[in-house]
Amino acid sequence: MGTIKVKDRDDNVHQLTAESGSTIMEVIRDAGLDIEAACGGCCACATCHVFIGEEWLKKLNSRDDDEESMLDQAFYVKDNSRLGCQLEYTEELDGMELTLAPE
């Protein structure tokens, strides 16, 4: 178990408990934060779009083709944009900071 820090769309920061094997999207959704995650984590909608803190990007796997395709259809995409459903929480990510992308 570890934690992630999530800034919501109202600039409030939430420290959430994260369990290895869960996706970042699941951690955020299960905590009751406002993340739609319409496809349930199938990488088919981009409604779990988040901005990862720059210092954490190097600890993540690269985007695969499916994630790239979904982000190509999303709004407000930045270099640090990722889909929360494609990021599995591991102990190496303990303390990770991210921000929910605008809807």
Enumerate the domain spans of the chain: 2-100
SS3 14: strand
Q: What is the dihedral of CA 14, 45, 58, 4, to 10 degrees?
A: 20
Q: What is the pTM of this model?
A: 0.95
Q: Give 55-87 pLDDT, tens digit per residue.
A: 999 999 999 999 999 999 999 999 999 999 999
Tokens (6 digits) for 98: 């991210």
Q: What is the pLDDT of residue 21?
A: 94
> SS3 for 82?
strand
Structural fold of domain 2-100: Ubiquitin-like (UB roll) (3.10.20)
pLDDT at 59: 96
Type of residue at 27 = V
